Structure 1
Amino acid sequence: MLSGNPPVSAGGTDFGGGLVIYSSRYPDVTVVDRPIHERVLGEAVGRGATPALVDTASGRTITYGELAGMVQRLAVGLAAEGVGKGDVVALHSPNTVLFPVVFYATTTAGGTVTTLSPLATAPEIAKQLVDSGAKLLVTVSPLLAAATGATAIVREQTGRGIEVLVCDEAAGHRSVLSLGRDGRVPPHDLDPATDVAVLPYSSGTTGTPKGVMLTHRNICTNLEQLTDLHRIGPGDRIIAILPFFHIYGMAVLLNNALSRGATVYVHARFDLDAFLTSLERDRITHAYIAPPVMLVLAKHPAVAKLDLSNLKRIICAAAPLDAGLQAAVADRLGVEIGQAYGMTELSPGTHIHVDGNLDEPAACVGHLFPSTKARLVDPGTGLDAAAGEPGELWISGPQVMKGYFGRPEDTDAMVDADGWLHTGDIARVDGDGNWFIVDRVKELIKYKGYQVAPAELEAVLLNHPGIADAAVIGVYDEENNEVPKAFVVPMPGGSLNADDVMSYVAEQVAPYKKIRLVEFIEAVPKAASGKILRRQLRDREHAAR
């Protein structure tokens, strides 16, 4: 095991056989074997009347004392409904002040939470319900059509009924809060090292979404790894525009913020006016955002009129951030801005711009978390890259997922026999230990921070009777957003046009997954194995532009 600063200029230590392992400059942390609800809410009762969550639209506030009580009562109620160790509760909701109540109540009862995008369609929800084996589905009344449509599909496919509960009120459906009752949760012998706390779905490096098994140990230890690198606490105000269902929002807006005693100002969705108003009115001290919001902060004229004197820190993650854009926001707002890096399969964090590290170059994602090891491996040769050279980023540490639920082959393809998780991202590290993400091996498209799997869209396209073959890649639009583009081989004699293709896909997927561009081609380039040669399509796109 390595600790401290590696002694070579590249930031790593050279072992026999050319193996180069990079280690954190920070001391290792102790693995945390606690349930996630205890790690996050262990001090909630003592914080009493301190606001934990504020709904920015209605002003509804839940204090830390109230949050602890609501979680405990609902956990008892869920246990009475039969939710126990190993049972999965699906949470399908936008950001609300009750989202964390359902989340932590489920884990307190011994269950596992699987989160779903509020933009997901009924077929998408149904796939996750079946794959995860969810016992209950908790949603909100505006999303009932998709939720009930999904459970109808599950019943048709499996014969299994899944009750749909709501966080608010809806005729014919029980409110999840009506389940709350006094008492104690029956003992369930939870093992933080092996029991799964949350089952978010990720496409990994390629392919369709898979359930990522994150144990209580994974998540709690990742919080511990962050503790001394990024400090927030009571008195800090966090703006919550990232979706809670996504691992980024879940980690920084719920688990980290609530465990530190900060107040979270909850936005159901991103609305520009509401976001800017909240930054000033709510005296926000910390903002966790993605690159598209950085563009707003850099260029929108309304930003210049705001009093943002309370804002201390901005962390940008979920997609690469241009150095020029980062510098522009830093200059305009006069606040410290840094990036972070991680992925769902890493609980999620591995790198962050450490508080106060003002000498860090723009566009770097910071330094390795404590207790985290990294390698840079040439994807072509499988050998470790030479000092200063880029390579695929491999990670080892206590935050590496338990695996993909029910998919041992996919797990083995992602995490090798020695425990290294292959991220699919191309990175480099400079002599000062600053890390940069420079490209992607993986074929995943990141549209405004959301993951879009080409294989998933190709499966939808191939169901169209007028499409003979199709392939999808990510291309950049005029606003520098990566968007899905479909290369389509039409059936002979058909009259298919681009609008037909885009409309067909849009009806079946969440809005962020929509096909934005279509090009008709004679044949999709493929290897002898049948694998789509996306590199040829990307080369074709570059040549055309």
Structure 2
Amino acid sequence: MTVRPHPNTPLPDASIYEVLFENNVNKNAVVLVDAENTDRFYTVASLQESVLKFGGFLQQKYDWKAGDVLAICAGNDIDYVLCLHGSVTIGGLSATVDHHTSAEDIAESLRLVQAKLVVTDDEYKTVVAEAVQLAALPHSVITFKDIQTLLSGDALIPLAAPARYEPDQLAAVPAYLYFTSGTTGTKKAVCISQRNAVAIAYFMDTFIPCGTRALTYTAIHHIGQLALTTHHGILRNIAHYIMDVKSEHTKALDVCEAIQKHKIDTIVLVPWVANTIAKDVCNAYDLSSLREAQCGGSTVDASIIKRVYERRGIKLGNAYALTEVMGLLVPSWESAMKGSPGRAGPRTTLKLVDVSDKEVAPGGTGELCVKSPTVFMGYYNDPEATKAVFDEDGFFHTGDLFCMNEDGEYVFNDRKKNLIKYFNHHLYPADIESVLIRHPYVSECCVLGIYSPEEATEFVTAFVSLSKEHIPVNHDVKEALRHIREYVDSRVLDARRLRGGVVVMESFPRTAFGKILRPKIQEMYKNGLIVQV
């Protein structure tokens, strides 16, 4: 079953620099604001000038050439966006690196993309400098403060001439490098072309509200912020208020406070923030500027979406994307209420295939495959890994299992790699998790297949965070877990029963966007770092 419901409206034959800056008629629009110090901001014009001046500095001091990689490993800052554009505008690449990790991990990322220079900030300078030494890079780090001192000083730095491309070059010119989340395996660098960047920016028009003030509160090193803050906000002259991210997960109440303070009307919510907005703890905050929003990172349950609307009048959609494809389904509140992330978007062709790569019949479940200008150009310097995820017809295989409902909306079932193999049964964790999460003792859950050497198969095992306020005082943890297991086993098919038991998690390892790191849980359990009560 192949679907192409939208007309293939042509994209402009232009670079991302030309689209955002040269074709932007509202040069005085404010597009980037420091949320903690609103006196620091960029308009389209001032950002364009700074980008060209920074590009000139790279050429003058570092002999920057086409294909050279600038890595950015820092906390959120309006100058992060400046640096992302600086290298790409003059024909180089920009790579974003997670700063909430060790020097060894950072060094691994720097080696993977063969970075020539690294930009950081004062807070992370020490660990990033150590990583640069470990990776044996040719230049020492520079900071946002160094760059601002340079740009505002008297040094004679010529404005760089932006790189120009013929239309047929745009899809073949690499621009940005983003790392895969690591939720299902080895880290790889996803390469986004000039054409990809433009296509992604325009795709955001299909579901991002036409607001005036947006909030960036998750780490800019995630590709979602390339689409939203770095590109779409400038394209549509939306002022993005950028919060400094002091920890891996921004506190939900800090987000509510920022929405109230800056009258935010455009936002993408991560699941734990959406869940908090649905609770009494947020009643003290005025969120009336926000009427609709999207949720990203992982799926938010329809029950939470319903509560947010009933309590706050905010309509939430579930945005589905991957690092490799930032734009394929168009989310909406109506679709989210039916458990769907939406329908196929513009310039996008989708198909669902079975394990033999044959298209499934209408209503069947299969792996979602996509062909679109938003699909990445490949994994950086890894042709074998790239070849493995594209079929002979040019479709990218997402690794996610979907079906389509009668309204043409796609419904997510599970990750293909998450399938649990219990003897001859192939089980979707989501089918069991949807039952598990309904138990009042469970606040969050994840179901995995844990291999049993004795039975030579995987046992369905539940990992849960307990909602302790709902557990009766006369129930200890063991009694609560027994109750949970009996509840699930009585409501699922025999093969789906929790033969591996129920394991308590104080917290789940996650990506910064809230996705649970299933391989990490497997590893922790295998190494005895998580034990059954």
TM-superposed deviation, 1:65 = 2.3
- 1:141 aligns to what SS in structure 2? coil
The corresponding residue for 2:32 is 53
Q: Is the 8 A contact 1:241 1:289 kept in 2?
A: no
Q: CA RMSD in A?
A: 3.4
Is the counterpart of residue 329 in structure 1 residue 308 in structure 2? yes
CA distance in 1, matches of 2:251, 2:183: 30
TM normalised by structure 1 equals 0.73
Query: Which of 396, 407, 430 is the equivalent residue of 1:421?
Result: 396
Is the counterpart of residue 151 in structure 1 residue 132 in structure 2? yes
The change in CA–CA distance for 1:179 and 1:252 in structure 2 (over 3 A counts) is farther
CA distance in 2, matches of 1:28, 1:369: 10
TM-superposed deviation, 1:199 = 0.8
The corresponding residue for 1:39 is 19
Code of the residue aligned with 2:225 in structure 1: it is: G
Q: Is the 8 A contact 2:68 2:115 kept in 1?
A: yes
Off by >6 Å, runs of 4+ in structure 1 = 173-180, 511-514
TM-superposed deviation, 1:132 = 1.0
CA distance in 2, matches of 1:388, 1:512: 28
TM-superposed deviation, 1:58 = 2.0
Q: Is the 8 A contact 1:47 1:261 kept in 2?
A: yes
Q: Is the 8 A contact 1:326 1:362 kept in 2?
A: no
The change in CA–CA distance for 1:374 and 1:479 in structure 2 (over 3 A counts) is farther
Deviations 1:238-268 (A, max 9, x none): 0111221101122122211121001101111
The corresponding residue for 1:276 is 256
The corresponding residue for 2:231 is 255
Code of the residue aligned with 2:53 in structure 1: it is: R
- 1:72 aligns to what SS in structure 2? helix
CA distance in 2, matches of 1:478, 1:382: 37
Is the counterpart of residue 519 in structure 1 residue 525 in structure 2? yes
The corresponding residue for 2:207 is 230
The corresponding residue for 2:110 is 129
CA distance in 2, matches of 1:144, 1:439: 39
User: What number of residue pairs does the alignment pair up?
Assistant: 440
The corresponding residue for 1:92 is 73
**Structure 2: which 5+ runs fail to align?**
420-428, 430-447, 449-457, 468-505
The corresponding residue for 1:103 is 84
CA distance in 1, matches of 2:516, 2:150: 29
The change in CA–CA distance for 1:119 and 1:181 in structure 2 (over 3 A counts) is farther
Code of the residue aligned with 2:102 in structure 1: it is: T
Is the counterpart of residue 264 in structure 1 residue 270 in structure 2? no
The corresponding residue for 1:537 is none
The corresponding residue for 2:464 is 477
CA distance in 2, matches of 1:39, 1:96: 23
The change in CA–CA distance for 1:274 and 1:43 in structure 2 (over 3 A counts) is farther
CA distance in 1, matches of 2:466, 2:239: 33
Is the counterpart of residue 83 in structure 1 residue 58 in structure 2? no
The corresponding residue for 1:393 is 368
The change in CA–CA distance for 1:395 and 1:72 in structure 2 (over 3 A counts) is same
The corresponding residue for 2:491 is none
Code of the residue aligned with 1:105 in structure 2: it is: G
Is the counterpart of residue 167 in structure 1 residue 144 in structure 2? yes
Code of the residue aligned with 1:432 in structure 2: it is: D
CA distance in 2, matches of 1:182, 1:377: 54
The change in CA–CA distance for 1:49 and 1:223 in structure 2 (over 3 A counts) is closer
The corresponding residue for 1:361 is 337
TM-superposed deviation, 1:521 = 7.7
> Within 5 Å, which residues of 2 pair with 1:193-204?
193-202=171-180
The corresponding residue for 1:208 is 186
Deviations 1:423-448 (A, max 9, x none): 11111111211112121113599xxx
CA distance in 2, matches of 1:245, 1:179: 31
Q: Is the 8 A contact 1:239 1:266 kept in 2?
A: yes
Q: Is the 8 A contact 1:165 1:176 kept in 2?
A: no
> Within 5 Å, which residues of 2 pair with 1:238-249?
238-249=214-225
Is the counterpart of residue 113 in structure 1 residue 91 in structure 2? no
Code of the residue aligned with 1:478 in structure 2: it is: S
CA distance in 2, matches of 1:91, 1:180: 23
The change in CA–CA distance for 1:369 and 1:406 in structure 2 (over 3 A counts) is same
The change in CA–CA distance for 1:89 and 1:187 in structure 2 (over 3 A counts) is same
Greater CA drift, 274-283 or 217-226: 217-226
> Within 5 Å, which residues of 2 pair with 1:426-445?
426-443=401-418
Deviations 1:312-368 (A, max 9, x none): 22100211221111111122110221111111111x1111225xx747634210111
Query: Which of 177, 183, 208 is the equivalent residue of 2:158?
Result: 183
TM normalised by structure 2 equals 0.75
CA distance in 1, matches of 2:101, 2:14: 32
Is the counterpart of residue 138 in structure 1 residue 114 in structure 2? no
Deviations 1:210-238 (A, max 9, x none): 111110101212222343x23545x6110
Code of the residue aligned with 2:310 in structure 1: it is: D
Is the counterpart of residue 296 in structure 1 residue 271 in structure 2? no
The change in CA–CA distance for 1:404 and 1:520 in structure 2 (over 3 A counts) is closer
- 1:370 aligns to what SS in structure 2? coil
The corresponding residue for 1:192 is 170
Deviations 1:457-488 (A, max 9, x none): xxxxxxxxxxxxxx9x99643169xxxxxxxx
**Structure 1: which 5+ runs fail to align?**
1-19, 446-453, 455-470, 481-501, 523-540
Q: Is the 8 A contact 1:375 1:394 kept in 2?
A: yes
Code of the residue aligned with 1:93 in structure 2: it is: A
CA distance in 1, matches of 2:51, 2:237: 16
TM-superposed deviation, 1:189 = 4.8
CA distance in 2, matches of 1:313, 1:414: 34
TM-superposed deviation, 1:92 = 0.8
TM-superposed deviation, 1:202 = 1.1
- 1:331 aligns to what SS in structure 2? helix
TM-superposed deviation, 1:411 = 0.6
Code of the residue aligned with 1:430 in structure 2: it is: N
